[in-house]
Amino acid sequence: MRILNPAVATFSAFLLFTPVHASEDSGVAPLLEELQKPDQAEWQRLERQITRLWSRSGSASADLLLQRGRDAMRRGQAVEAIEHFTALIDHAPDFAEGYHSRATAWFMDGKLGRALDDLGETLARNPHHFSALAGMGRIFEDLSELDRARSAYRAANAIHPHRSDVRVALERLERRLDGTAL
């Protein structure tokens, strides 16, 4: 198994699961490499391209379930979204974005444990999913599991160093965990 980023490998081992590498033919690997460049001015475009590629299941019915779930989330209907994403996962159990989307809906519904479980499933299928890692960081931080939050944010930042929300969270945790005065 080849993992492009050592931080992701460390975090995966930390969570005690073995990730399965995402499809090599998805076209995402070169975009992820470009995204990691510190002087990348086009990072937002790259992020959108990566997210769009990750959202393609290869099945019209799975894509429809994903869209219906996302529409329900936009309407604030987390329970309905969870139902659509659960049907999607039943239909396409290897599709990482189904788990990531359901994790977001679980989070919206206040079910943090279930959200964490689905984020773990997302990363098992796509260890480069920077949004799943950032989501884990947020949940671990909410649960006051600060070392785990920092590890998740570090892994997300290693893959996608341009997200200001992750950098700010990481700086905040570094200050708290390392005892630096605010």
Judge whether 43 lies within some domain: no
Write out the residue range of the structural domain in which residue 85 sits: 6-11+53-178
**30 in any annotated domain:** no
State residue 163 phi and psi, 5-degree precision: -80, 115
Contacts with 102 (C-beta within 8 Å, 6 or more apart), sequence order: 69, 81, 82, 85, 86, 88, 89, 118
Question: Quick one: angle between helices 78-91 and 60-74, nearest 10?
Answer: 170
114: in domain: yes
- Give the C-alpha separation, 15 to 112, whole Å: 16
User: Would 21 be classed as within a structural domain?
Assistant: no
Determine what percent of the chain is predicted with pLDDT higher than 90.
Answer: 78
pLDDT in tens, 3-57: 334 343 334 333 333 333 344 346 899 999 999 998 889 999 999 999 999 999 9
Tell whether the model's pLDDT for residue 71 goes beyond 80: yes
Q: What is the CATH number of the domain that holds 113?
A: 1.25.40.10
CA separation for the pair 88, 72 (Å, rounded): 14
In a domain, 136, yes or no: yes
Domain count, the chain: 1
**What is the CB-side half-sphere exposure of residue 66 using CA atoms within 13 A?**
22
pTM > 0.85: no
**Would residue 134 count as lying in a domain?**
yes
Residue 39 counted as domain residue: no
User: What sections of 109-180 are H helices per DSSP?
Assistant: 112-125, 130-142, 146-159, 164-178
pLDDT score recorded for residue 26: 66
In-domain check, residue 24: no
